Amino acid sequence: MRRNILKLKVKRLGISTGGPLVAIINEEDAKVLDLHPLDRIKITKGKSIETVVVDIGKKSVVPKGTIGVFDELTASLPLKDRDSVAIKVAKKPVSLDYIKKKLDGYSLSKKEIDQIVWDIVHNRLSDVELTFFIAASYCNPNNMDETVWLTRAIANEGDRLQLKEKKIIDKHSIGGIPGNRTTLVVVPIMAAAGYTMPKTSSRAITSPAGTADTMEVLASVEFSLKKMREIITKAKACIVWGGALNLAPADDKIINVEKSLMIDAESQLLASIMAKKHSVSSTHVIIDIPIGPNTKITDRKKAEHLKYKFKQLGTKLGMKISVILTDGKEPIGNGIGPALEARDVLKILRQDDDRPLDLEKKCLAMCTQLFSLMGKRNGLTLSKQLLQSGKAYEKMQHIIKLQGGNARIKPEEIPLARFEYDVIASKSGKIKSINNLFVAKIARIAGAPQNKGAGIYLYKHIGETLKKGERIMTVYAGTKSKIDYVEQVLEGMDDIVVY
Using pLDDT thresholds of 50, 70 and 90, give the confidence band for residue 385. Answer: very high
Q: Quick one: pLDDT at residue 494?
A: 63
Task: Tell me, yes or no, whether 352 and 466 share the same domain.
Answer: no
Of 53-67, 214-228, 418-432, highest mean pLDDT: 214-228
Task: Tell me, yes or no, whether 481 and 422 share the same domain.
Answer: yes
97 is catalytic: no
Which of 69, 90, 111 terminates a domain? The answer is 90
Q: Which residue has the higher pLDDT, 495 or 102?
A: 102
Task: Tell me, yes or no, whether 13 and 69 share the same domain.
Answer: yes
Is 3 a residue whose pLDDT tops 80?
no
Over range 275-292, report the average pLDDT.
Answer: 95
Task: Tell me, yes or no, whether 99 and 86 share the same domain.
Answer: no
Of 65-79, 124-138, 393-407, 484-498, highest mean pLDDT: 393-407
Over range 107-116, report the average pLDDT.
Answer: 97
Using pLDDT thresholds of 50, 70 and 90, give the confidence band for residue 1. Answer: very low
Task: Tell me, yes or no, whether 105 and 50 share the same domain.
Answer: no
Mean pLDDT of the chain: 92
Q: Quick one: pLDDT at residue 2?
A: 44
Which of 379, 402, 425 terminates a domain? The answer is 402
**Separation of alpha carbons 349 and 191, rounded Å:** 13
Q: Quick one: pLDDT at residue 302?
A: 94
Give which of 457, 433, 430 is closest to 294, Cα–Cα: 433
Within-domain flag for 37? yes
Q: The domain that contains 122 carries what CATH number?
A: 1.20.970.10
Q: Quick one: pLDDT at residue 382?
A: 97
Task: Tell me, yes or no, whether 322 and 445 share the same domain.
Answer: no
Give which of 196, 200, 239, 197 is closest to 217, Cα–Cα: 239
Q: The domain that contains 443 carries what CATH number?
A: 3.90.1170.30
Total domains, the chain: 4
Is 411 a residue whose pLDDT tops 50?
yes
Using pLDDT thresholds of 50, 70 and 90, give the confidence band for residue 62. Answer: very high
Task: Tell me, yes or no, whether 10 and 71 share the same domain.
Answer: yes
Q: Quick one: pLDDT at residue 493?
A: 67
Alpha-carbon radius of gyration of the chain: 25
Over range 179-185, report the average pLDDT.
Answer: 95
Is 128 a residue whose pLDDT tops 90?
no
- Could you say which of 71, 127, 145, 264 is catalytic? 264
202-257 per-position pLDDT tens digit: 888 778 999 999 999 999 999 999 999 999 999 999 999 988 888 888 888 888 78
Q: Which residues are bridge partners to 183 per DSSP?
A: none
Q: Which residue has the higher pLDDT, 110 or 490?
A: 110
Within-domain flag for 258? no
Domain residues for the domain of 284 are: 169-244+273-402
Task: Tell me, yes or no, whether 349 and 483 share the same domain.
Answer: no
Over range 290-307, report the average pLDDT.
Answer: 92
Task: Tell me, yes or no, whether 84 and 102 share the same domain.
Answer: no
How do beta strands 429-430 and 465-466 pair? antiparallel
- Please check whether residue 15 is in contact with residue 57, taking contact to mean a CB–CB distance below 8 angstroms: no
Within-domain flag for 444? yes
**Separation of alpha carbons 358 and 322, rounded Å:** 21
Within-domain flag for 1? no
Task: Tell me, yes or no, whether 302 and 365 share the same domain.
Answer: yes
